[in-house]
Structures are given as structure tokens and as C-alpha cells.
């Protein structure tokens, strides 16, 4: 989707659809007020008769209004003025986007940023553009477009001054992050396997002069002693890949931010096989990888003045005669040994070697992102990613970034009190910590490989995809990560 700024008065622009927001009859503002005046009070009359709904997120399409150049006017209800906050604003923009996607209009002039939700105009503009772009997305790669579907929105203008261009450029970066992340997430596991993720990384590298990609193959990983990562993939016909993307936006000697993504392209559970129902959803188990790749791409698109390294541990977890098994003891790249109690706790195994590998870049911060535990969905549902770190400042930065972009994260503790749950008779630790605090003990496991590093772990098991019929990848937490990277400058 293409974003532009428009300085002509909103009511005199030739557009297929003018989008305005209203709270109630007594508070018409900006373009909504102008529309009412130019149409001889038509808008207020329609609110009065109940033909225009003012409830939060409601939509009414008006046609051929006198005095206004737009072919149509989409009136978005915003509900109570006092309840109208950034989240409500964002949802109004999303509803407008979904409505436009399903109706005739391939361009629109959007005035929703005129609404007051407690943020500044830059934020309003950026958020509206991102929400419209996200709502406009439809997965079509392996299917025919829906019957009777309408043209998607192609271009959106906002009536705002030229000096707001940077806000729209940033929105473009976020849009790219979410698009990349969602598309990778939604692709089926027979297409999006470790080799495919590696190819996509190479594609990203080709698009920017200051981006390069390195792919480590099985033999090289073996050489480095990444036996935890290799154990997970050894039951699969699809070879693992360790994908390294490098972006140089600052001096070479400036320490990079390293993002590490769990890239399990399908998680069957391995020998500790998962139950059949909903197993297809485990194609989303590379959601962490997808979001770090998306955020990385946004960083390159925005040419942020920092250095960033993105590491994806890509593998498939399958049961097979060669598969790793419960009872196995594996030596990780760090030298620490791990007793496998459950082959379905595979994410932490691929991540521990990727995290050990990340040390060579001497990072200012390392953030790993993973659909790591079902327990995270129990704790936070689908609304927040879990943020864990022993570094309060880093945890706060991540939570704040998520709040700003409304791709929210919420903190869980990583206290040493939980550590004993990982004790093993036969190795330095086991790969599961039992039922209590499953997400925290997974984080504790990873903390054993990140000692002395400024590190945070994000469990995005609940936020990466929407369960159910209208489900699919959300692209999260690519937004949180992109905001975090923007804030690093
Ligand atoms: N990929 C799953 C976690 C997951 C489950 C994410 C459901 C989203 C929805 C992970 O590899 C896994 O299987 N974790 C186990 C860990 C357990 C065996 C300690 C889990 O959460 O059940
Ligand atoms: Mn698993
Ligand atoms: Zn998994």
C-alpha cells in the first residue's frame, strides 16, 4: 500500500472514499464538521435519525453527499470521547481498513488522525497508516482470491502537511516488517522450510547495499559443536540452517544489537509427538524467526544508524528413526550438557546454540524471540508477548516499545528461585522444568547460555498467530522489535 500526504482541503479532493471519525453529534471536529457544513447539515441529520452509527468501531458508508468531492464517505464511529485512548483509536483505524478492503475503493483520503486520543499527530498518522496496511493484507500465495472479493486498497492519502512525511516513512518500515513476518508465518511448512527461510534472507540481503547474509550448513554447525540445534533437526529430511543477516548502519566498531529467532518451520513434537488436533498450527513455530527477519528488514528500509545482526535457528522437529529421544544427553556449543526429557521442548535447544554463537558479535544487547511455550498462551492469552530479562532497563525498553506501537509485551520474572526446576541427575540441566511457570523456566534455561550478556527473551507463543477460523499470522512481535530498533539511535 502506498501512503501520501495531501494538502488540498479534504472535502475538495477527488477520492474514491473520504474516511472521517465521529464521537457524537455534539462533538464534530475538523473534516467531519466541514462535511456537515458543506452538505447543509446532512451528517448531523443522519446521526439524529440513527442512520449514521457513532458507536465505537461502527462503520457507515455515505454516497453522493452534496458539497463534497469524494465519491463516498466512510464514517467511523468512535464512541465515548472520554474512553477514546490510543488502543481505541488503533482499533478504529483497523476497522476502517478491514471495511475498505472488503468494499469498492482502491484509494482513500483518510482524516482519522484528526481525532484526539492523547497522542501527537505524528503518532496518529503513523499508527493509522500501519493499521490500514495490516487490515488490507490477505493471504493469497497458495490459494485463489476470495469469490466476489473487492480490489484491495492501493493508495491512501492523509490530509496533513509535508513535514509529516517522516512519520509515513516510518509507517512504511513497520508495514514492511509486518508483511514479511506474516507472509513467512502463513506459508505452509512444505514450502517454508529451513532452506526457504535461508533463501528469503539472501533475498533481503540482495535488496540493500549494507546488508549481507551468511548461511551456516549442517557441516559447519557440526564443526562449531552446535549439537543441541542439530539434535532437534536430526529426525527431519530437511536440513537445518543457521541464518545470519548483517546490517551495517553505523561505524564498523559500533557494537550491534543481535536479534535471535526461533525458526522451527514445523514442530510435530518429535518422538514426544504432539496430539493430532491443531497440529497444523505448529507451522507458526517459526514466528519468532519471521518477526526478527521482518524487523531487520524494516531497519534496513529505514536505514537506521545502528548495526544489527539477525540470527535465525531454522530447523524442523520430526519423529524418525534418526530422531533424538527422551533420555538423550546432548552437549551444547557452550559445553554445557542437557538431558532431554521431552523432545517437544525443542525451541530452547536450537536457541541455546544460536545464543552461544551470538557472543562472537560482542552485542550491546541480544534479544531472542520465540514461540517457546504453550504456558505463555495460558499466562497472557493472545494480547501480549512475554518479555523476560534480568536487565530491568532492557525489559522496560522492550515493554515501552511494544506499548508505543501497540504490539504489546508484558514482563514475567526470571528470578533464580525458578532455577532448581531445571536440575538433572545426568546432565548440567534438563530441557523441561515441569508444570509450574513453564514460560519462566524456559527463559531460565536460556539464561544459562547468556551469562554476562545484556539479554532479553520474548515468548510470542500467544501473539504470533490468531487461533480459529479467521486465524493466521499477525506478524507480531515485529512491530515491538522495529520500534525498539528505532529507539536505539
Ligand atoms: N512450539 C511449542 C510451544 C507452543 C505451543 C507455542 C502451543 C504455541 C502454542 C514448543 O516447542 C513446545 O512444544 N513447548 C512445550 C514445552 C514443554 C514440553 C515443556 C509446551 O509448551 O508444551
Ligand atoms: Mn515443541
Ligand atoms: Zn516449538
326 and 471 both lie in a single domain: yes
Q: What is the pLDDT of residue 251?
A: 98
347 and 397 both lie in a single domain: yes
Q: Report strand pairing: 72-77 vs 18-22.
A: parallel
Poorest-pLDDT segment among 45-54, 136-145, 171-180, 357-366: 136-145
Quick: pLDDT tens for 182-204. Answer: 999 999 999 999 999 999 999 99
135 and 275 both lie in a single domain: no
Last residue of a domain, one of 89, 120, 153: 153
**348 within some domain:** yes
236's grid cell: 527431519
Last residue of a domain, one of 93, 124, 153: 153
135 and 203 both lie in a single domain: no
Q: What is the pLDDT of residue 212?
A: 98
Rg (alpha carbons) of the chain, rounded to whole number:
24
DSSP 3-state of 18: strand
369's grid cell: 524471540
128 and 178 both lie in a single domain: no
**159 within some domain:** no
| Distance (Å, whole) CA 415 – CA 386 | 15
**215 within some domain:** yes
pLDDT exceeds cutoff 80 at 471: no
Quick: pLDDT tens for 247-260. Answer: 999 999 999 999 99
> Cα-flanking dihedrals φ and ψ of residue 315, to 5°?
-160, 170
**161 within some domain:** no
Residue with CA at minimum distance from ligand 1 atom 22: 374
pLDDT exceeds cutoff 90 at 150: no
Q: How far is the CA of 394 from the centre of ligand 2 (A)?
A: 27
140 and 177 both lie in a single domain: no
Residue 436 exposed, middle or buried by CB count within 10 Å (0-12, 13-18, 19+): exposed
Poorest-pLDDT segment among 288-292, 400-404, 465-469, 480-484: 465-469
Among 268, 273, 374, 431, which is best to mutate for testing ligand 1, by the most ligand atoms less than 8 A from CB?
Answer: 374
Vertex 320, ends 314 and 326: CA angle to 5°? 85
Q: How far is the CA of 267 from the centre of ligand 2 (A)?
A: 6
pLDDT exceeds cutoff 80 at 148: no
22 and 140 both lie in a single domain: yes
DSSP 3-state of 409: strand
pLDDT exceeds cutoff 70 at 40: yes
| Distance (Å, whole) CA 86 – CA 488 | 23
In this structure, what CATH number is given to the domain that contains residue 234? 3.40.630.10
332 and 437 both lie in a single domain: yes
113 and 182 both lie in a single domain: no
In this structure, what CATH number is given to the domain that contains residue 95? 3.40.220.10
Catalytic residue among 72, 126, 348, 430: 348
Last residue of a domain, one of 153, 185, 205: 153
Which ligand approaches the C-alpha of residue 371 most closely?
1
Residue with CA at minimum distance from ligand 1 atom 17: 345
Task: Count CB atoms within 10 A of the CB of residue 434.
Answer: 11
Quick: pLDDT tens for 233-244. Answer: 999 999 999 999
**227 within some domain:** yes
pLDDT exceeds cutoff 70 at 31: yes
464: left (phi over 0), alpha (psi -120 to 50) or beta: alpha
Q: Is the CB of residue 337 less than 8 Å from the CB of residue 228? A: no
The alpha-helical segments, DSSP class H, found in 225-325 are 227-233, 287-302
Paired strand residues for 331: 337
43: nearest Cα among 29, 377, 269, 207: 29
Does the annotation mark 57 as catalytic?
no
Which ligand approaches the C-alpha of residue 279 most closely?
1
| Distance (Å, whole) CA 337 – CA 332 | 6
469 pLDDT band (50/70/90 cuts)? Answer: low
User: Which atom of ligand 1 has the smallest separation from the CA of 342?
Assistant: 18
**Cα 348 vs. chain centroid, distance in angstroms?**
20
Vertex 408, ends 403 and 414: CA angle to 5°? 105
**16 within some domain:** yes
**163 within some domain:** no
78 and 199 both lie in a single domain: no
* Pocket of ligand 1 from Cβ distances under 6 Å: 267, 285, 342, 344-347, 371-375, 377, 432, 438, 461
277 and 343 both lie in a single domain: yes
Q: What is the domain range of residue 431?
A: 173-487
pLDDT exceeds cutoff 70 at 313: yes
| Distance (Å, whole) CA 475 – CA 287 | 7
**DSSP-derived secondary structure letter, 303:** T
| Distance (Å, whole) CA 464 – CA 262 | 12
Q: How far is the CA of 274 from the centre of ligand 1 (A)?
A: 9
Percent of the chain with pLDDT over 70: 100
Quick: pLDDT tens for 315-354. Answer: 999 999 999 999 999 999 999 999 999 999 999 999 999 9
Does the annotation mark 274 as catalytic?
yes
Q: Is the CB of residue 414 less than 8 Å from the CB of residue 405? A: no
Quick: pLDDT tens for 387-396. Answer: 999 999 999 9
213: nearest Cα among 199, 233, 224, 226: 199
**158 within some domain:** no
363 and 446 both lie in a single domain: yes
Among 261, 340, 373, 441, which is best to mutate for testing ligand 1, by the most ligand atoms less than 8 A from CB?
Answer: 373
Number of domains in the chain: 2
| Distance (Å, whole) CA 54 – CA 50 | 9
Quick: pLDDT tens for 65-116. Answer: 999 999 999 999 999 999 999 999 999 999 999 999 999 899 999 999 999 9
475: nearest Cα among 263, 295, 322: 295
Quick: pLDDT tens for 50-76. Answer: 999 999 999 999 998 999 999 999 999
Amino acid at each position: 500500500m502506498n501512503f501520501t500526504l495531501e494538502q488540498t482541503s479534504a472535502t475538495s479532493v477527488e477520492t474514491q472514499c473520504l474516511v472521517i471519525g465521529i464521537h457524537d453529534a455534539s462533538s464534530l471536529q475538523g473534516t467531519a464538521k466541514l462535511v456537515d457544513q458543506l452538505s447543509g447539515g446532512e451528517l448531523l441529520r443522519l446521526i439524529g435519525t440513527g442512520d449514521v452509527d457513532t458507536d465505537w468501531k461502527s462503520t457507515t458508508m455515505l454516497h453522493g453527499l452534496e458539497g463534497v468531492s469524494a465519491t463516498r464517505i466512510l464514517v467511523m464511529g468512535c464512541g465515548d470521547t472520554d474512553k477514546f485512548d490510543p488502543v481505541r483509536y488503533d482499533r478504529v483505524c483497523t476497522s476502517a481498513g478491514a471495511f475498505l478492503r472488503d468494499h469498492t475503493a482502491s484509494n482513500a483520503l483518510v482524516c482519522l488522525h484528526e481525532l484526539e486520543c492523547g497522542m501527537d499527530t505524528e503518532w496518529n498518522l503513523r499508527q493509522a497508516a500501519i493499521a490500514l496496511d495490516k487490515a488490507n493484507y490477505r493471504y493469497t500465495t497458495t490459494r485463489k482470491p476470495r469469490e466476489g472479493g473487492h480490489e484491495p486498497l492501493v493508495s491512501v492519502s492523509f490530509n496533513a502537511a509535508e513535514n509529516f512525511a517522516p512519520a509515513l516513512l516510518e509507517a512504511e518500515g513497520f508495514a514492511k516488517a509486518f508483511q514479511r513476518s506474516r507472509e513467512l508465518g502463513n506459508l505452509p511448512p512444505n514450502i517454508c522450510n529451513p532452506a526457504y527461510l535461508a533463501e528469503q534472507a539472501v533475498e533481503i540481503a540482495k535488496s540493500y547495499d549494507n546488508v549481507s547474509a551468511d548461511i551456516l550448513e549442517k557441516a559447519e554447525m557440526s564443526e562449531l559443536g552446535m549439537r543441541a540445534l542439530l539434535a532437534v533437526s536430526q529426525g527431519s529430511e530437511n536440513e537445518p540452517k543457521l541464518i545470519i543477516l548483517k546490517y551495517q548502519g553505523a561505524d564498523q566498531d559500533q557494537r550491534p544489537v543481535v536479534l535471535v529467532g526461533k525458526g522451527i518451520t514445523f514442530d510435530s513434537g518429535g518422538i514426544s509427538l504432539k496430539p493430532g488436533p491443531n497440529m497444523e498450527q505448529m507451522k507458526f513455530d517459526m514466528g519468532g524467526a519471521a518477526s526478527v527477519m521482518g524487523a531487520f528488514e524494516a531497519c534496513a528500509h529505514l536505514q537506521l544508524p545502528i548495526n544489527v545482526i539477525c540470527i535465525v535457528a531454522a530447523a524442523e522437529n520430526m519423529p524418525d528413526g534418526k530422531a533424538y529421544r527422551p533420555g538423550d544427553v546432548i552437549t551444547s556449543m557452550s559445553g554445557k550438557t542437557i538431558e532431554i526429557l521431552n523432545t517437544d521442548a525443542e525451541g530452547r535447544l536450537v536457541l541455546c546454540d544460536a545464543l552461544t554463537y551470538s557472543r562472537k558479535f560482542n552485542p550491546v544487547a541480544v534479544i531472542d524471540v520465540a514461540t517457546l511455550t504453550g504456558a505463555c498462551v495460558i499466562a497472557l492469552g493472545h494480547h501480549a508477548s512475554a518479555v523476560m530479562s534480568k536487565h530491568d532497563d532492557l525489559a522496560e525498553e522492550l515493554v515501552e516499545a511494544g506499548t508505543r506501537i501497540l504490539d504489546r509485551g508484558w514482563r514475567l520474572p526470571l528470578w533464580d528461585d525458578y532455577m532448581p526446576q531445571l536440575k538433572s541427575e545426568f546432565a548440567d540441566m534438563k530441557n523441561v522444568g515441569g508444570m509450574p511457570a513453564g514460560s519462566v523456566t524456559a527463559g531460565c534455561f536460556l539464561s544459562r547460555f547468556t551469562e554476562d550478556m545484556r539479554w532479553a527473551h520474548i515468548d510470542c507463543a500467544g501473539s504470533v498467530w490468531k487461533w480459529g477460523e479467521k486465524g493466521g499470522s499477525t506478524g507480531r512481535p515485529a512491530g515491538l522489535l522495529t520500534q525498539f530498533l528505532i529507539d536505539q539511535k
